[in-house]
Amino acid sequence: MLIIFAGWLATTSFLIDFCRMLQKLQQRWKVNGINLILIIFTFAIGGSFCGLAARKILAITSIEEKTIWIFSYIVLVSLLWPVCVLLVSIPFGQFSFFKGYLVKVWDKISGKKIPDPPLIAIFASGAGSNAQKIIAYFNAHSGAGKVALIVCNKPGAGVLDIAKQHHINTMLLDKEQFFHSDNYISEFKKLGIQFIVLAGFLWKIPSSLIKAYPNKIVNIHPALLPKYGGKGMYGSKVHEAVIAAGEKESGITIHYVDELYDHGNIIYQATCKIDAADDAGILAQKIHLLEHQHYPTVIEQVLKLQNRS
């Protein structure tokens, strides 16, 4: 009985340690649970393939001396491993992660100094679908930027759950704090926040925050500005106005934020057709597709341009 109990304790302890290790990897790589499992499988299968390939190559050689064979095997595995892992990562949907991972490994081996990615704060008020896409994109392109903070003005908003899943710090602000205090700005500076992304954040940005981050705050609007912008024009209200006006196309506008609603310099626009049978709900779906497709990449391009200047 004691032996069984000791075995149970040892197994339980191992499982706890293993789960902690997985949790640390998930936090380090900034991935969700499913992607973590896929990454581990890619490591395992890629490693098996490169070991098998190395043996096959050595089998057609005339190397018989054991020491030379082992040395050759180690060299071959080292050379084949990156290729095998990248190939295996494609069907598992983890190519972007492993491409970035291998670049980091090479930079460390070569002694190249890797600059820290710019830290991003995302402001959101709702479910956070755009925030989710931006986080996933920068997790896969870690050198381009890093989402380090989610700022929200609604307790219980879905975006807070997304932040928790990705182990990202959050900050809840009320109107008094946001419009009549600058304390949160000093907190941003302490956290090293360098860039701010509005992703469904409905409050007007105060001038104090704009001055603290000049040309470093961007927003996405679900219409082709300068049309259908301004105070009160957000979400379904925009799409309803576009449909009511009989427009043949709509789209998204990504722009810098200034002191006025939907007024800053335009960075990028993408369009979609409006069919005769479309209502505001269908148009909203088309706009969401454009937002998810373009917002993360445009943010990356803006960060690259600012890093060069």
Q: Which residues are catalytic?
A: 221
Taking alpha carbons only, the member of 265, 238, 264, 233 closest to residue 251 is 238
| Structure token digits, residue 219 | 């927003």
C-alpha 90/C-alpha 280 separation (Å) is 37
| Structure token digits, residue 258 | 């200034």
| Torsional class of 247: left (φ above 0), alpha (ψ -120 to 50), beta (otherwise) | beta
Beta strands in the chain (DSSP E): 119-124, 146-152, 169-172, 193-198, 217-221, 249-256, 266-273
Strands 266-273 and 249-256: antiparallel
Cβ atoms of 196 and 216 closer than 8 Å: yes
DSSP secondary structure, 139-187, as one string: HHTTTT-EEEEEEESSTT-HHHHHHHHTT-EEEE--HHHHHH--HHHHH
C-alpha 43/C-alpha 20 separation (Å) is 19
C-alpha 232/C-alpha 229 separation (Å) is 8
C-alpha 215/C-alpha 255 separation (Å) is 10
Q: What is the DSSP letter of 120?
A: E
3 state DSSP class of 217: strand
